[in-house]
């Protein structure tokens, strides 16, 4: 029974990692489609969302079965319920990839505004945050999770910078307004991805800290 439980927990971790890899690839693909003005690639991202939704249902189902059948201990309970929350955040990261792809398609209808300012950099950080938050979950690594939280400020600063630059464009030339608005919305999509990665990292810290506190060995907060 114990061995079976461990096998199922490992399968859950692997599924969640697989889902993480899928949404990372999709957000990356959406940003590349934007940069390369590749409409077919953007449309493929939009069409592929169903696969993420199906994986989310499967992961949720695994979690519920583990909760129902195995009478897990407190630390495993925290881990399984965290997995359910992380699963929801990953699915929503997938939704943001769709939003980016949709905004990209709009941008392809007009001449490019300029080399996308800091959007690729912002996308890079949001992607790394997503990847690291999941690695932190699998390795129960609170320090790595905390490094994800720290990067959220950088994303917010880039978002503000992008906003100010695009505002200047729009004021100087109303002909740029529609394109600038689409780019602002993409920056908000990326901000939301970083927010979801932050949620995941917070869940990881809760799982790890609560476990360690229970064992009488509190992890220092800084």
Enumerate binding residues for a second copy (CB under 8 A): 63-64, 67-68, 71, 74, 77-78, 81, 84-85, 88, 167, 170-171, 174, 177-178, 181, 184-185, 188, 199
Smallest distance from a second copy to CB 183, Å = 12
Integer Cα distance of 59 and 15 in angstroms: 7
- Cβ proximity to a second copy: between 44 and 67 the closer is 67
Phi-psi region of 209 (alpha: psi -120 to 50; beta: other; left: phi over 0): alpha
Smallest distance from a second copy to CB 102, Å = 12
- Cβ proximity to a second copy: between 28 and 106 the closer is 106
Smallest distance from a second copy to CB 38, Å = 25
Integer Cα distance of 39 and 35 in angstroms: 11
132 and 147 Cβ atoms separated by less than 8 Å: yes
Integer Cα distance of 219 and 103 in angstroms: 42
- Cβ proximity to a second copy: between 29 and 169 the closer is 169
Nearest to 18 by CA among 67, 66, 59, 78: 59
Q: If you search the block for the tokens 């990665």, which residue do you land on? A: 197
- Cβ proximity to a second copy: between 38 and 126 the closer is 126
């Amino acid at each position: 029974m114990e061995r079976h439980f461990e096998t199922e927990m490992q399968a859950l971790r692997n599924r969640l990692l697989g889902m993480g890899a899928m949404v990372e690839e999709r957000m990356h693909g959406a940003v590349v489609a934007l940069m390369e003005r590749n409409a077919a690639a953007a449309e493929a991202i939009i069409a592929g969302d169903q696969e993420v939704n199906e994986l989310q249902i499967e992961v949720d189902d695994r979690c519920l079965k583990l909760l129902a059948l195995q009478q897990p201990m407190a630390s495993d309970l925290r881990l399984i319920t965290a997995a359910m929350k992380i699963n929801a955040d990953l699915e929503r990261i997938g939704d943001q990839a769709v939003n980016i792809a949709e905004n990209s398609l709009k941008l392809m209808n007009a001449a490019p505004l300029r080399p996308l300012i800091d959007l690729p950099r912002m996308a890079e950080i949001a992607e790394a945050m997503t990847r690291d938050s999941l690695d932190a979950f699998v390795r129960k690594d609170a320090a790595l999770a905390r490094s994800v939280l720290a990067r959220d400020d950088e994303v917010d600063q880039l978002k503000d910078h992008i906003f100010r630059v695009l505002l200047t464009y729009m004021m100087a030339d109303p002909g740029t307004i529609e394109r600038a608005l689409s780019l602002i919305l993409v920056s908000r999509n990326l901000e939301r991805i970083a927010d979801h990665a932050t949620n995941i990292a917070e869940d990881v810290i809760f799982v790890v800290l609560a476990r360690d506190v229970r064992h009488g060995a509190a992890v220092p907060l800084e």
